[in-house]
Amino acid sequence: MTSGKKKGSQILIDSLIEAGVEHIFGFPGGAVIPIYDVLYDAPLKHILARHEQGAAHAADGYARATGKVGVCIATSGPGATNLVTGLCTAQMDSVPIVAITGQVPLAAIGHDSFQEADIYGISIPVTKYNYLVKSAEDLQRVIKEAFFIAGTGRKGVVLVDIPRDVQTTEVKPKKLGPVDIPGYLEPYEEENSKQIAEALQAIKAARRPVVYAGGGVVSSGAVEELRKFIRKTRIPITTTLMGKGVYPERDDLALGMLGMHGTKYANYSIYESDLIIAMGVRFDDRAVGNVARFAPLARIIHMDIDAAEIGKRMAVHIPIVGDLKAVLSVFSEKIQYQVRRRWLERVAQLKHEHPLTFKDDGKLKPQHIIRTLSDMTKGELIVTTDVGQHQMWSALYYLTTEPRRFITSGGLGTMGFGFPAAIGAAVGRPDLPVVNIAGDGSFQMCIQELATVRMHNLPVKMFIINNGYLGMVRQWQQLFYQGRYSHTRLEFNPDFCKVAEGYEVPAFRVTEPGEVQSTLEKALATEGPVLVDFHVDREENVIPMIPPAGGQTDFIGEG
């Protein structure tokens, strides 16, 4: 290097450090060797995943657990394309990630070169923004912009594709000022004064209001403002899957999760309400099945930072576009308490009449395992899940107390997400215990990350709900396809305990209800990673359930 110049790879690492990055999740390859060469001496902690998808999910879990921007890195071609599912997962749930990929040299692009793939084009639908860096001169600016875009407004994924020759070109670093992207304006509450006044009046007039809160409350950092609002108004609150933890779920005003597998009392409360105060939600099809039968008597206030979400699925009476933290600060200060004794009595009655229950027939039930874990830990763990029946049981029976403690793939529903996400959460929050609740199908999708938890001795506890099926698909086949279990039985599952022991991870097997608490205690008390294989009732279903496109009161199945 001459005259103060630095290679693009060094500028990249310097830019990451300047952005406050402490951890990177990745997998090296030929097109990123110059970057990894600089990483060798860099003061950054690199977590070597065993698959690029695992690296993306780990960066995702890190971001959700910490509130910081997650960073992952992969080589060109198959390395980059292996990130795509993880990037789409994060983007669907508005999680901030900066993904860095290597690319073939600029002159080789478009020639079907070895390990070439147009990740710029491929990733456009699954990112908030992306870059193909064509000059080392642009690298500093691009990285700074990438973190700004990923972590502001409605958070999301930014991909930066860096050709190999850009990494090795020497340029002189520049001193950059604040990011200035024309047309990028954060909406604030001052622009919504008329709607806020109208919303305050609607809340004052309402007799049966319900707060409906989602992941936007978490990502905007508005949890305390929301809790102040609830404490002041005494309005019952239901949440989306992504909103778990925004309000303590053991509180009398907490209704739990809404929707297809939500609590009956949450769905009935919404159905009977006359005002829904929606905060940072998408009204997605799993929360709102039949739009025409969702809260037919209610007016809707919808607050969201993304104007595109307002009115997308539901007609909204009072739209408020803005940062929730700023908007709720105004609401919390100006709102007045209204006595609604009859409504609170009705909500309490619904909770009493429709509790979460499951049949105790002597078999090992998933609900019993998760409820026991919840009671033992008082909801103070970080819990990650994969996708399927165990995800819904976890959402219903593991009662959370704080935000960023329940981490799951909501929008995309990605099997294999939970285990690497737990790795990211454990790296980002070493002060908190981390548990991954997985299905036997999901766990096998990223099972190789056992090497990662062992290599770094991460205290991730892996609890497999093993029913020998792709459980949620089997449940739908039972309920809607005359019990024709087409290719959902998992024949030849491995012995998970032996697999874990092959990675030098302690493992236990549980087959009886009486073994649950003692095994959970043993696992949680063990240092480092632990796997527990719970062999549960094979055909237990997730109840309550509302069928696809059903109304909020169209429950099927027993319970």
Q: What is the biggest distance separating any 2 CA atoms in the chain, rounded to whole angstroms?
A: 77
Answer yes or no: do 253 and 130 share one domain: no
Q: What tokens appear for 303 in the block?
A: 């607050």
Neighbour order of strands in the sheet with 70-74: 45-48, 23-26, 70-74, 97-103, 157-163, 129-132
pLDDT, position 289: 86
Q: If 0-12 CB within 10 Å is exposed, 13-18 middle and 19+ buried, where does residue 181 land?
A: exposed
462 in a domain, yes or no?
yes
**Long-range contacts made by residues 36-39, C-beta under 8 angstroms, separation at least 24?**
37/9, 38/7, 38/9, 38/10, 38/12, 38/13, 39/13
Residue 549's pLDDT is 87
Whole-angstrom distance, CA of residue 210 vs CA of residue 215: 17
Q: Which residues contact 504 (CB under 8 A, 6 or more apart)?
A: 454
Of 411, 400, 370, whose CA–CA distance to 542 is shortest? 370
Beta-carbon-side half-sphere exposure of residue 369 (alpha carbons within 13 Å): 30
Residue 556 lies in a domain: no
Instruction: Judge whether 558 lies within some domain.
Output: no
Q: How far is CA 428 from the centre of its chain?
A: 15
User: Are 455 and 337 part of one and the same domain?
Assistant: no
Residues 287 and 426 in one domain: no
- 489 plus 524 within the same structural domain: yes
pLDDT at site 188: 57
361 within some domain: no
> Domain for residue 349, yes or no?
yes
pLDDT at residue 12, as a whole number: 98
Final residue belonging to a domain, choices 353, 385, 404: 353
CA 276 to chain centre: 24
Closest CA to 148 of 15, 32, 39: 15
Q: Which residue has the tokens 């039930």?
A: 365
Last residue of some domain: 171, 203, 225? 171
In this structure, is residue 510 part of a structural domain? Answer: yes
Number of domains comprising the chain:
3
pLDDT in tens, 360-401: 899 999 999 999 999 999 999 999 999 999 999 999 999 999
CA separation for the pair 530, 422 (Å, rounded): 13
- The reported pLDDT for the residue numbered 181 is 84
For the chain, the distance separating the N- and C-terminal CA atoms, rounded to the nearest angstrom, is: 70
The first and second tokens of residue 421, run together, are 């996400």
Query: ∠325-298-355 over CA atoms, to 5°?
Result: 85
CA distance 475 to 491: 17
Question: Do 371 and 416 belong together in one domain?
Answer: yes
* Domain final residue pick, 171, 201, 236: 171
Q: Are 98 and 158 in contact (CB under 8 A)?
A: yes
Contact 72, 130 (CB under 8 A): no
Residues 205 and 116 in one domain: no
Q: Are residues 278 and 381 in the same domain?
A: no
- Pair 201, 321 in one domain: yes
Residues 137, 46 share a domain: yes
Token output for 112:
């079907």
Mean pLDDT per 10-residue section of the chain, whose length is 559 residues: 85 98 98 98 97 98 98 98 98 98 97 96 98 97 97 95 98 92 62 89 96 97 96 97 97 96 96 97 91 92 94 93 92 89 97 94 97 96 97 98 97 97 98 97 98 97 98 96 97 96 98 98 97 97 93 81
Contact indicator for 397, 370 with CB cutoff of 8 Å: yes
Same structural domain for residues 49 and 124? yes
Residue 554 lies in a domain: no
What's this model's pTM, rounded to 2 decimal places?
0.96
Q: What is the 3-state secondary structure (H, E, C) of 285-317?
A: CCCCCCHHHCCCCCEEEEEECCHHHCCCCCCCC
Residues 154 and 12 in one domain: yes
Domain that includes residue 207, residue range: 189-353
Q: What CATH number does the domain containing 232 carry?
A: 3.40.50.1220
Does a structural domain hold residue 217? yes
Backbone angles phi, psi at 359, to 5 degrees: -75, 125
We report the CATH number of the domain holding residue 436 as 3.40.50.970
- What are the E-state strand segments in 65-177? 70-74, 97-103, 129-132, 157-163, 170-171
Q: How do strand 6-7 and strand 170-171 relate by DSSP bridges? A: antiparallel
Q: Are residues 102 and 197 in the same domain?
A: no
Q: What is the pLDDT of residue 468?
A: 97
